[in-house]
Structures are given as C-alpha cells and as structure tokens.
Amino acid sequence: MPRTFEEECEFIERISPVAYRIKKGFVPGMNVEGKFYVNSNLEKLMFEELESSSGKQGIGGFTPAVKQIANVASLPAIVGHSIGLPDIHSGYGFAIGNTAAFDTSHPEAIVSPGGVGFDINCGVRLIRTNLFEKDVAPYKEELTQSLFDHIPVGVGSQGIIPIKAKDFEECLLYGMDWTVREGYSWPEDKEHCEEYGRMLQADPSKVSTRAKKRGLPQIGTLGAGNHYGEVQVVEEIYDKHAAAKMGIEDVGQVVVMVHCGSRGLGHQVATDSLVEMERAMARDNIFVNDRQLACARIRSEEGQNYLKGMAAAANFAWVNRSCMTFCVRQAFSRIFNSSPDDLDMHVVYDVSHNIAKFEEHWIDGRPKELCVHRKGSTRAFGPHHPLIPVDYQLTGQPVLIGGSMGTCSYILTGTTQGMKETFGTTCHGAGRAMSRAKSRRNLSFETVMDNLKQKGISIRVASPKLVMEEAPESYKDVTDVVNTCHEAGISSKAIKLRPISKYYPPDFDPSRLPKAKGKRNRQFVQRVMVPFNMQCNTCHEYIYKGKKFNMRRETADGENYLGLKIFRFYFRCPNCIADISFKTDLENCDYIQEHGATRLFDAFKFYNEKAKQEDAELEAEKNDPMKMLEKRTQMSKQEMQAMGELEEIQELNRRNERIDARDFILDDKKKAFLLAEMQRQQQEEDEEFVRQAFNKTQGGGKIIRRIEDDEDELSSRGNLLFPTKPKNSGQKELVETLLCGQVKQVSDPGPSTAANPQPPGSSKDKLKGLVVRKRKPESEGVSKTIQPPDLPGPSRIQNSKPDPGPSISSTNLPKPLPGKSASSSSPPAKQKLLSSLAAYGSDSD
C-alpha cells in the first residue's frame, strides 16, 4: 500500500538549516542513510515533487529525487551516505545531482551506468583572456557569429576537425595527449584538467563499432540540449587570492565557458552497457529497488568492460572540449587580429560532472579506495590534495558552475569540509525546475527572446525550440544553489560571471543562411558490390569481391575518357570504419583503387616486383668485383664465427660425455641406498659362485678359465657405478699365488700360519686347488696365462694371512713357451690383473 505524503515525511529529518537526512526504512533494503542539501527556497521544489508522486509509481516514468537518493542507498557496498546536492532533480536511475561511493575492497562493490549518466564526462571548461568588456562590446555580434561558425552545434552536427579511423582510436586511448600531439591543445592545458585529460584505464576495444561510428564525425562539436558556449565577464570577486591564482585580475575581464560532453559516443556506450548489466544482475543475484539502477560487480567482466569503455568515452569528451578550445582561440584571433598567446587564452580549469572514478577517501578513520559515482555533481577537492594542480594547492580545486540561459555563472573552490562530508563533491549547475516538455508548453518563444535582448545577450542557436527548453524559468536559481553549497561548507564562492554572448539559443535558422551559387557536385548513395578483392590499410580486414555496401557516388572533377564521365565511389570498412575509395577506369575496363585499401592482385604484383628487384641486385653483385669481394669477406667472417661456435659446442659435448648423468640425477639418499643394494647383490653372487665351485670340485670337476675371458669380466666390473677395492694385502697375496699357478705357502715376513689358523670352510680353502694352468693349442700362436675364477667381493675376504694348503707338484704346471721362462711370462699378466683389480676397488675405502 503506497504511503501518504505525511507518512513519507516521517522518514525525513532536518539536521541543519541547509541539510536533511533520509532515515533507513524510507525504501526497502537501505544500507546507509540518505542526505541532501537544500535551503528554504529549494526545499519547496523537493517536497512538492515528492508530494505529487505520493501514492503513485512516479512522474513521467521517473521517480522523485528524494526516493532516488534512498534507492541508491540500498545498493551493495555503499559507504557514507547517498548524497543529493542543491541542484538535484529526477533522472535515470540516479538523480541528477546525486553522489555515491562504493568500497572497492568489498567483493559485492558495484558500478552502475545510471550513476554516471548517458553523456559520459559532460563537463565545463573555462578559458581566460586579457581582454575586458569594453574591448569586446563593439565586436559582440561578430564574435558570437564567429564562434558559431567555428563550432558546429545541434543534434547530429558534424565537426570541422579532420580525423581518420586510426586517429580516432588513438584519441579514445590517449585523450588530451592526442590533441597536444596534433597541435589542438597547448601542453599546459593538460595541467589544468581533471586526470590531466586522460583516463589511463581506457580501452577502445570495449567501445562498440556503432558508438565509434556515432562519435567519429562529432569531434569538436557542441551538440544540443543544455550544452553551450558562452562569452562572460567577471562581475564580482569574492576571493581575490583564489582569483589571482586563476589569472583573473579584475572585474570586467572577459572569459569563455564551454559546456559539452561525449556526444553520441558516450550515449551509445551507456546504452550498450545497460544490456550487459541486466544479464549480470540475473547471474549474480543482484537486487535493486529500481530497474534503472542496473549494475554489475566492479570485479566482474561486465563491470570492467563498462569502466574501460566509460574511460574511453571520457577521453573522447576531453578531446572534444580541447578541439572546441582550439576553435575558440581561432575565432578570437580572427576578430581581434592577435594570436591566442598574445590574448593570454589559457585554460583556467576543466571539470567533469558525469563520471565514476577510483579515489581514496577517509572512512571511519582509515583511508579506503572508493569508486565514486558523480552524476550531475562536480569534484571539489580541498587545498593540499595531491590530485589538483600546483597552482591551486593553497586555494583548493576550482569548480565551474554554469548557470542557465541569461543567468550568471560561478567559480567555486573545494574545501576540507567537503572532503569529509561529500567525498569532495559539490553542485554542477542550476538544476532543472521544469521538464523540457513542460517548458515548451508553458513558455513562449517571443517572451524568452525579449527577456534575453533586454539583458543585452546576443544568441545563436541551432533549433528555436531550445529557447523554451533552456530558458531561465526552466531552471532553479543558480544563486540559491551556490549559496547553499557555500553555507553548508562543501565549497566556497570565489568569482561571479555574467554572460554577454551565448551561442546555443534563439533566432538562428540555418535555412535562412545564404546559399552558395554555382554548380554542385551531386552525390548519390547507391547499393554497389565491391568489384575486386581488397584489404583495408588500417585494420587489414579482407573485403571480398561481391560484398555489398551502400556507397556514395560522385563524378570525378575534370576526369573523363573519350567524353565519358569517371565516377568515384566511397564507403567505409565494416571493421574499422576507415574511408575507402576507388574509381572507374574506362580505358582498361577496370577500377582503380585510390585510398584506404589495397587490391589483392596489386599486393601479389608488389611481391613479384620485389622478387625481380632482388634478382637484379644479385646479378649486379655478380658483375661487380668489389661487391663480390665484400660478400666473400663477409661470408668468411660468418664462417669463422660459425666454426668457433661449433668448436665450443663440440668441447661442451666432450665434457658432457665424461660426466655420468646419474651423478646429477641421484641425491645422497638414493646413492646410499643404491650402494647398499649393490653390495648386497654382490655378496649374494659371490656366495652363490663359491657354493657352485665347491660342489663341482667335490664331484671331481675342475674349473679351467682363460685369462682373456677373465680380463673382460674384470674390466666390466671396474666400470660399475660404485666400485670397491681390496681392503688388505691378503687379497694381493692370493692373487699372486693364483697367477703363479701354485697353491702353496707364500713367503711372508709376518707371523706363522700356526699363529693364524684359518677357520675351516673359508673362501680361501674353497678356492685352493681349483685352478690349474692349461696350455692353449699351438694354433692360436699366443701364450695365455690361467686367470683365476671370479674372486669373491671385498666383504668376503678376511684380513688374516692366507693359510697354506697342500702343495701342487711342479709336474702339474705347464711348461713355458720356447724362448721364455715361466718367471718371465707371469709378471706381465700379474701386473695386468693387479691394475684391473685396483680399478675395481678404487672407491671402496
């Protein structure tokens, strides 16, 4: 059940002579309280609007401003208050004149296009001059007409700044950096703009092609609605120190104020984003009291896409105002025959009142990063803030407040109190008191015109209906608005300005302009198929033969073939909207590509010509001895360099061959485990071998092995990963005995055998008598020495002296070869076996 006006007023409480508080519960789900600033004159409009809507769904599809403030207070992650400024009136989603901040550290923090508006970065720029009213008065009409000639106005107006699609992408990305590079701005202009005329997070790829098509021809245009350009004079100075910092010396000094935004591009960016926001709300379960408050999480893809597209539109708005500044300077220079520099036409400041920015503010005694939405409200940072220019560090940021048609404007400065209460925000203008439709119904064109003429204001306008829509009666009193902000302490008055020339209102009718006489080159738009394959030079998009476009056709001036006309066709690339043109070639029954693209067969022809040119250069080198010498010298140097590099690679490969990869792969623990495992396996193999050998001996068998076979086996054992070596001299003595083919007591200076008896069944006892020498057949021609069988590992050989076994008679030993004695043949074999065993056991100690 809708509440009555009296019931709704119970939730509204006055907290100061110029401020009201909206309690929680005024609308469902309020997370913070609402707050708005009005004086006694302005509060009547606020409460009349609320009373007229009580028990209804809204006015003309819009909700009253008081309820819109409360609806914004119900959005997720909002902090502080939902704030309404004195110039507030009903708008789309957010009220115009509404400010809200959202904690970016909160996972549910949102961004809402309705909190920025459709005219993204709509703002005001003030340009000072060293002229005074007495200097301008004689040329007032000429100056007004010159401004109107230089700056196009009206819905759909097209600018006079030539720009290509590639440059347009750069202006969306770089903002005023692009205008400085192209010469439309002075370098110092950037210093006196918010964000220095460029938002760094801009991404032109997040701006739709339709938005770019709408914005491309509108750079340097004023537009319609309440946008204007105004020549003003200083009427009153409240703060001389602040005025001196702005370059305003005395009353009567002439300044120029320009009010415009991002035109059709910003409107299209907002329209496109609202569709995505509604899908994001359904996906993330975001609930709002008003569908016009469509929003998305800041961290979501939709939120980031909007912020990047909004930043690109904001950069476009700064470019637009900078280009109009260029036109204003040219108009003044033309009228007063002086350069803009001689006229001291510097930018005082450029402010935005439709934007969302990431700023740091103090919340509950701690600094926090907030996403501050300002719709119809202006940033007003106080003194010593790091984001304002050095010139204004002691006075605070200048705030430009434009009045309505025929009324005064103001320059304010930011305050410290405003930083605490309103996130450094104040009003942006007068604010509407009547809707546009109501203004057209209640006001007459003649009455408004007479009032403006009585005030001595010269006017130019693109459409006469703007006279009623933007008449002073349609707006609140800007003086009441400014005084309320000054009394509340959220900003301070500095300068009052009075208009003397305005170029957006009355009696101008474009149809009455004198028309140029003479022949015109008539242009037609017709549906034409592309007659050949081409590639766009800007975006490299392929445009295939037979694709249809709406092309503009014109007759080529001064060109014909046998009396037949040559026609030229213009169209835009479907991807980057770059201009492409071609014309008919009647002589060759073909077409000639002129601008913006390249024919594909022309590209192939270019490649063929390049190949032919390379062949010709190669042939010329062959015929030139000096070039051939230089080429051979260069090739020799390259070959020497390559050989050096090859040698380095070969040396590295040789080094790598000597490195066992397992030494790098295995760590210490794995090495220890592998060592223990190999020792265990070796012990088992030795025991098994001794057992088999002992069994064979008991059965009457003998083991006869050649030293060649044993050398291979011993050599292979020497290449094990972790080899071992004999621990004592007992092994060496046993080997010597085996090499001599004798198993008997070996002379040893140590103690006698009786003192060191060997336990029965030891490995030495098992080996004694098992090895005999065998003569190799004479056919082999080489004498061989008997090699002992596989010796047991080091773990099986005791440190005690060998026990003398039964002697083997000398008759069992083979006779040496002719010419060699037994004593002379055994030492080489002995040394060979010892060297193999030494390598085998080199790492066991």
CATH number, domain of 148, equals 3.90.1860.10
CA angle 704, 707, 710 (to 5 degrees): 90
Domain boundary, last residue among 469, 484, 512: 512
Residues designated as active site:
428
What pLDDT score was predicted for residue 831?
55
223: confidence class by pLDDT, cuts 50, 70, 90: confident
32: confidence class by pLDDT, cuts 50, 70, 90: very high
Domain boundary, last residue among 479, 512, 545: 512
What mean pLDDT comes out for the span 684-702?
A: 70
What pLDDT score was predicted for residue 113?
94
What pLDDT score was predicted for residue 690?
83
In a domain, residue 676? The reply is no
716, 789: one domain: yes
323, 337: one domain: yes
450, 337: one domain: yes
101, 204: one domain: no
Burial of 822 (0-12, 13-18, 19+ CB in 10 A): middle
In a domain, residue 613? The reply is no
What pLDDT score was predicted for residue 471?
63
Q: To which residue do tokens 């291979």 refer? A: 712
97, 83: one domain: yes
Burial of 227 (0-12, 13-18, 19+ CB in 10 A): buried
Domain boundary, last residue among 605, 630, 646: 605
In a domain, residue 159? The reply is yes
pLDDT over threshold 70, residue 381: yes
Beta bridge partners of 569: 553, 582
143, 85: one domain: no
In a domain, residue 617? The reply is no
Q: Pseudo-torsion of CA 143, 144, 145, 147, nearest 10°?
A: 80
Please give the Cα distance from 303 to 305 (Å, whole number).
5
Question: Which pTM does this prediction carry?
Answer: 0.60
pLDDT over threshold 80, residue 503: no
pLDDT over threshold 60, residue 746: no
542: confidence class by pLDDT, cuts 50, 70, 90: confident
pLDDT over threshold 80, residue 616: yes
Pairing of strands 354-363, 366-375: antiparallel
What pLDDT score was predicted for residue 61?
56
- Return the closest-CA partner of residue 371 out of 296, 291, 285: 296
Residues 6+ apart with CB under 8 A from 224: 153, 154, 155, 462, 463, 466, 504
154: confidence class by pLDDT, cuts 50, 70, 90: low
What pLDDT score was predicted for residue 367?
93
**In which domain, by residue range, is 499 found?**
113-512
pLDDT over threshold 70, residue 813: no
278, 411: one domain: yes
450, 323: one domain: yes
What pLDDT score was predicted for residue 773?
46
Give the CA distances from residue 326 to residues 339, 341, 757, in Å, rounded to whole numbers and listed in that order: 12, 12, 118
439, 324: one domain: yes
What pLDDT score was predicted for residue 379?
96
230, 149: one domain: yes
In a domain, residue 60? The reply is yes
CA angle 700, 705, 710 (to 5 degrees): 140
Domain count, the chain: 4
328, 457: one domain: yes
204, 262: one domain: yes
Extract the tokens encoding 673: 């485990």
Give the CA distances from residue 820 to residues 676, 783, 785, 811, in Å, rounded to whole numbers and listed in that order: 46, 10, 13, 18
What mean pLDDT comes out for the span 621-630?
A: 82
Mean pLDDT of the chain: 78
